[in-house]
Amino acid sequence: MRKIFIAGNWKMNKGLQETKEFLATVIPELNKLKLDKVIPLIAPAYPFLEEALKGSFGSCMQVSAQDVSVHSEGAYTGEVSASMLASLGLKYCIVGHSECRQYHNETDSTVNTKILKLLENHITPLVCIGETLQQREENKTKEVVLGQLSGCLQNIKLVSGKELILAYEPVWAIGTGKTATPFQAQEVHNLIRNWLKSNYSEKVAAELSLLYGGSIKPGNMKELLDCEDIDGGLIGGASLKEEDFLEMVKIGKKSKGQEC
């Protein structure tokens, strides 16, 4: 069975004190749960990664960065390289988020370089793809999603599906309160899974965790996880609240026939 990620993308929220408080509340509760297939994960801003790693040490909580530089080192003011993230002991990093694509003009080719840098540094990339509302309304979802997949994953060799995570985040569902229906999400996830079968292998397609993102909250998590090809969530707003985060982890633990 694939790993189910309950992944909180904190974006530009929570400072040092709030990060500490979140972990002080959530970690003891996570420690009471026997999580086998479910991986809780948070992605705080760069300055708080070390604190998050310290605060979750010895627990099942994983920590991710929200982005990485395309460069390895040098005169790139404000940027953080994959080797710097690796030196912290970080194991995950989000790339290709629609907000980075929109505000930093990130392209599939930039995302591709970032994935390569992360893999070279033994960090698992969590790669985001997804169409805009206009693209969906013009019936271009399939074309856009498959185009992003082939652009982002060009020349990326995967032997196992555990080396990378994909998140389908329809741009129109991010921060809007408008979640994709389970049918809409499953349809795209299935498309992605089949693309992985054709372009990698049955093994990679079967192992790779495909997350959905866009206005997830405890109230809609179960119906999304009930879909065959949805292996967790990349959650923005609702991941900031300790009780909601824990609730979503518990829903993950009961999903896919793990527990009644």
Segment interacting with ligand 13P, rule: CB under 6 A, options 55-63, 117-125, 187-195, 214-222: 214-222
**Residue with CB nearest ligand 13P?**
236
Segment interacting with ligand 13P, rule: CB under 6 A, options 12-20, 82-90, 194-202, 210-218: 210-218
Q: Choose, by CB under 6 A, the member of 49, 211, 227, 234 that binds ligand 13P.
A: 234
- When asked if residue 185 is in the footprint of ligand 13P (CB under 6 A), the reply is no
Query: Which parts of 78-97 interact with ligand 13P (CB under 6 A)?
Result: 97
**260: burial class by Cβ within 10 Å (0-12, 13-18, 19+)?**
exposed
Other Cβ atoms less than 10 A from the Cβ of 226: the count is: 12
Question: Residue 193 — φ and ψ, nearest 5°?
Answer: -60, -45
Question: Residue 65 — φ and ψ, nearest 5°?
Answer: -85, 165
Catalytic residue flag (residue 169)? yes
Shortest CB 43 distance to ligand 13P, Å: 8
Q: Choose, by CB under 6 A, the member of 214, 220, 225, 229 that binds ligand 13P.
A: 214
Number of residues interacting with ligand 13P: please give it, by CB under 6 A.
Answer: 14
Task: List Cβ neighbours of 37 (8 Å cut-off, separation of 6 or more).
Answer: 1, 2, 3, 4, 256, 258
- When asked if residue 169 is in the footprint of ligand 13P (CB under 6 A), the reply is yes
**51: burial class by Cβ within 10 Å (0-12, 13-18, 19+)?**
middle
- When asked if residue 45 is in the footprint of ligand 13P (CB under 6 A), the reply is no
Report whether 42 contacts 13 (CB < 8 A): no
Binding letters toward ligand 13P, positions 146-165, x by CB under 6 A: --------------------
Shortest CB 193 distance to ligand 13P, Å: 20
Q: Choose, by CB under 6 A, the member of 5, 9, 23, 232 that binds ligand 13P.
A: 9
Question: Residue 43 — φ and ψ, nearest 5°?
Answer: -120, 90
Report whether 60 contacts 40 (CB < 8 A): yes
Shortest CB 177 distance to ligand 13P, Å: 8
Q: Which position among 163, 169, 189, 207 bears the catalytic label?
A: 169
Shortest CB 128 distance to ligand 13P, Å: 7
d(Cα 205, Cα 229) in Å, to the nearest integer? 10
Q: Among residues 145, 238, 239, which one has the least CA distance to residue 184?
A: 145
d(Cα 242, Cα 149) in Å, to the nearest integer? 33
Residue numbers of the site for ligand 13P (CB under 6 A)? 9, 97, 169, 174-175, 213-216, 234-238
Show which residues are catalytic: 97, 169
